[in-house]
Every structure is written in C-alpha cells, then in structure tokens.
Structure 1
Amino acid sequence: MRGWHIPPIHVIKVPNSEKQEVLDGQQRLAAIRDFLEGEFSINGNLDPVEPYIMELDGLSWADLPKNISGKIEDFTIRLLTISDYKPGEPGELFYRLNQPTNLTSAEQRNAYFGEARQQVKDLSEVMIELGYSRETLGFSNSRMAYDDVISKFLLTLELGTLKRKITANTVTSRYRDSDGFSSNYIVEAEDVLLTFYNCLIYTDRSVKLNKASTLSWLIFICSYRRLFKSEEALKKFFLTFEVIRKEINSSVDISCLPKGINKGLVNKVIAIYQDRSGSRVADTSSVVLRDMCLWLLFVSYFPEVKDQNSKTLAVYDSMHYLATIAPSSITEKSLEEIADSLSWGQKL
C-alpha cells in the first residue's frame, strides 16, 4: 500500500521432486496469505502515519475499496528459484539473508537442504500425524520445536552415549554432512515416537512436558524397548511418574513401591528431575541425571525387572541404598556420584 520494496522470496527446488520449499520469505508469504483470508485487519496508525492509510484503519481485505485492493493485487514481488546447488549453499545463503533476525536454532538449521534435515522433517511430520500437539504433549511444533527434539534424539542414537554434549552447533554441524542418519535409527525413532504417543494417550490426564523432558522420555523409551517387550508396564510407569511429578507436594499413593522406598525419597528424586528439566538442560550431567531418575523410579515401581539384566539390577541396588539414608541427604551431587560409579550413560 505504501509502494515500498519487499525483499524477494527465495525458494529451493527440491532434488528429484516437483516440490519447491521456501528458503527465505515464509513470514512475508504467511502475512500476505493471512491478510487475504481475513485473519487480521489494517492498522492505520503505524508510523510513518499516512492519512489515506489511517482512513482504512480496522478494515479487512473483504472491506477494502476496489482501488486499494486492486493496488495490492497488482503489486509485484520477485521470486528467486534456486536449483543445481551444492548441499551447503542454501544454508549459507539463508544465514547471510537472516543474520539480523531472531530465529531459533531449528529454524536456522531448516535451511540446510541435506538428507539429515529431510529425515528430521519427515519424523516431525510423523509426530503431527500421530497426534502430538500442545494438548497431548504440552507444546506444539511452533518454531520447529519437534524438529529440534528429534534432531537431538537421532544424534544421541548415532553417538550411542549420553556423555557427549549435544548443542545447537553440534546438530548444525551434523546437518552440514552430506550423509543422513542410518535407516536403522530412523526406523527405531519412528517406533519410539509411536510408543511414546501411546503413553501420552494412555490416560485422559494432560501432561505438560518441555523439550528437555520430552527428549529424556524418548531416550528412556528407546532403552526400555531394547530391554523389555511389555508396553503396558511402560505406559503405567509413564502415567504414574507424570502424576507424581505434577502433584509432587500432595499425597502420593506409594502402595506399589518396594519395602523401604518412601514418599520422601520419591519426591526427592522427582525434584532433582524437575530441576534438571528446567535449568542446565543441555549439560551432559543434566541429561544423565534425568535418565537416572527415570530408571530409579521405574525399578522401584516394577522391582520384578531387577534380575532381568545388569542395568536394572544396578539401579535397583542404588535405589535401595538411597532408601537407607535420609531424603534430605540426597542431592544432585550424590546422584551424580552414583551415576559415575555405574558409568551411567556411557553407553546408550
């Protein structure tokens, strides 16, 4: 309406496909689309104030005079199509175009049109198709939050350890590689996502997870699936754990806990898990502690699994050791010492 220049839209031609994807300009296109669909109206008071635009204040697309709507329809925006590019070129172009903007790490990585990026994108779409949403999980895929979690989960599978810190730069570096993740990891990730969703819908209680706790549950479920077959026990544990976490200061039914494991100990372990889900979330110590806390509570609620493998036996013994000391003496440091003694997380 002002006749100002609008930066061109950059689109990428997807290799071996008729599809095109927006590299730069998605917010511009979305704003135009939403206005034409009547989702917002004109704000005539934006600086610099123009008298004729002020007269249109509050009008939506359908209400505009023909001369104004015609001016908008006739406006030209350049579209640049990029093809025959090397894997790193779209990402570098996107970075240079968007240096001044405040994009999330996942949004920045989305410009790397390699196999790893596409695999993560596909899994993110699987999550949405399954029914993951703010209502079921606690957060939506706004600003590519699911892509961020999945990329870190796949990298954890690939590294095979919890002892390597995964940062935004680590994931970006992986996206730059020409090779994608192993198909075995992709298949396993799909199975874990399905199992996790079954846990989420096991009850009508809503859960409020963040990206850190979601990643920890994916890692836990992955390890669980490699050790056990029963999905029913896993769903029951997820429900129990999340109920206690949500009502940490209220009365907790501990009738199913083994003898010697008390409410104070359970709440202490949950409190440490909570703290490491909300601060220092990317530190290796936080990832290891959250995983340790999940397994400590799991073997407490299902003591019959302790003799099935060395991992569950070791964590069961650790929980009983903790039960012999006062809950007030249980700290993050004491759990870290136990984790170190067991080389916890050294191998996924």
Structure 2
Amino acid sequence: MNTHADIRQDNKSQSAANAISKKQGNGVSTFQLVDNRPKQIAQLPKKDLITPTPSVFQLQKLEAGKLNVVGEHHTESNNRRSQEKDIAAREVGGGYWTEDKFRIRETKSSKENAVKDTAQDQRILGDALYLRIAESIQYVDDAKNEFEQGWTQWTSQKLSGEQLIDLKAELQTLLVTCKTHTLEANRLAEAYMHNEEFKTLPKFVTAQIIQIHKLLPETEKLFLILVETWKKHSLQQLIFDRFLNSFHVFGSNIDVLNMYAAKIGGASRTDTSKLRSYEMDNAASFAHDRIGVWKIGFDHVEHIEEEMQQSDTKNYVLINRDEFNHEYKELPILVEDHMVKQEE
C-alpha cells in the first residue's frame, strides 16, 4: 500500500507522516515510502505551492534520548562539523548523521555490520534515493538550459578577447554543475538498484529508475568528451567549431532523463525538493526511536514546518537552523561567506 503525500493544507490526513508504516502478520511495523508522483503537485494551483501557512513555533533545543532533526546551512555546518558532533554527544547521545547518511534502522546482522554505511549498505536512507536521483537530473537540466541560452545570446555578439575569456569562465560554472550532478545521479541510480528502498515503492517508480540507470552511463561519457574539448580550446575556437552542436547531443539525453525525473519527482526541482522534505519527515516519524541528531538542509525543515499547524506534534524533535544557532552560541555562524563568532 502506498499513500500519496499531499501538500494541500486542507488534506493533512494524507500527509507522509500519517502513512509511514504497514503492519505485517506478526504485528511488526515496516517502513513504507510514500508514492510522491508528480500529479499530486502538478495539479495544484500555483498559489498553493508557494504560500506557507503562518505558524508560530516555540523555540526548540536538543532533547536527550530522542531523535532530533535539525536544519543546517550545509557550508556553515561543514565548517564546524566536529563542534556539532561534540554538542550532539553531550546533549543527546546516540548518533550524529549528515543529511545523506541517516538510515531508518540499525543493522541487524554481522553481514550488515560488515558493510555499514558503505555503498553496499542496503538499509533505507532517510533522504530518499528516488527523489535525489530526480533532483540531480533536474539540476543538470536547469544548468543545461542556462548554458544553451547563454551561449546563444552572447556568442552571436562581437566580443573582445577579454570578454570571451570572461564568458568562457561563466559558462564553465554551468558545465561544472552539469558534471557534478550527472555523476551524482549516476551514483545514486546505481545505489538504488541495490537498496531496500525499491521494495517500498510502486513498480512504476522503479521502472523509471531502471531507464535512468541505463541512460546515465552513456550520458556521462558524452559529457566527459565535451569537457576534454572544452579544456583544449579557447571560446573563440569552440564557437568556430560549433561546440554547441555537440553539446546538444548531451542535452538531448538530459531531456529524456528529465522526462523520467518528472515522473518520479516533482514538475520542477523546487517541487522535488519539497517532496524530499516530506520523505525526510516520513523517515524521521518512522525511525523516531533512533537516538541522535540528524542534520538536514534548513529549507527541508522549513517545508516540514509549513505543513504543520500550531497544534501539530511530532514524535521526534524538529529544530530549525536559527533555533539551533541561537541555543548553542559557542558555534560560529556563516555571515557573507565568512565564519564568525556569535555574540553571547
């Protein structure tokens, strides 16, 4: 049985947190990922997607002996990770997990212990693989479109040598995004094929990921060939050699991959990010008896909070980034790309 996550404010009873488990004959509760196919979002009026529900939340702090889900700015927390781990051990006990490392259950055997937290670990992750695959592809699609638009707009103009150098540097940042997320999507698709997550989702979802898994290695090879060409030549030479035509071949593959991504995620990267948030809530609700601190992106906490009414309660502790920083002032914070001490 799978229940759609519905982000409408008038349909709380069908939210991910209320459809997280099923009972087997022996009464044991097992994890059930939520079928978040895009029709649930695509059919909503735009205002329903972007208008948060006004809520007032009491400031939260870490609670000992519980699962604490805490928002973070990834760059900020990466720069103070060891301090955060010390605080988690002192205040909570148990484990400390970054966004992509939280598993919904402990290992159950020596065989599982041997591959714990490696690529061979089959335990379901709190940050659902199927949505991370979709979002990675959507990142590539956005960067691909921006690259094509920028190339077409600027290379049709007469540019000086210095302008050509600057333009190549700007376009290269988009190629870096394409490379990073193409490789990540390929890695995640491979991981999905060996993870227990596929057992909790409809066959339709796995069918799309199988197609993605088949196409991504070829797409990655195409892109790496483009990168070698890009490195060897000036932008002026690349324009003369019609580099964009070669890029379009890679882009055509991304168009197909993005079609699959929209079927298993949201209609856009923003929508898919929200669905990731609801699956994180789903996972935390199911695994609320795991003790420790799970750090997730601050935007994911905001999405979860937006879905909560003032009277809503969670069976785990939810803390946003500002609350966490306010409570633990010994931690430095990120201000305009610099880590600075907080005022006591």
TM-score category, normalised to shorter length: under 0.3
User: Could you tell me the TM-score, scaled by structure 1's length?
Assistant: 0.23
- Report which of the two structures shows the higher radius of gyration computed on alpha carbons: 1
User: Could you tell me the TM-score, scaled by structure 2's length?
Assistant: 0.23
Q: Which has the higher contact order (CA 8 A, sep 6+)?
A: 2
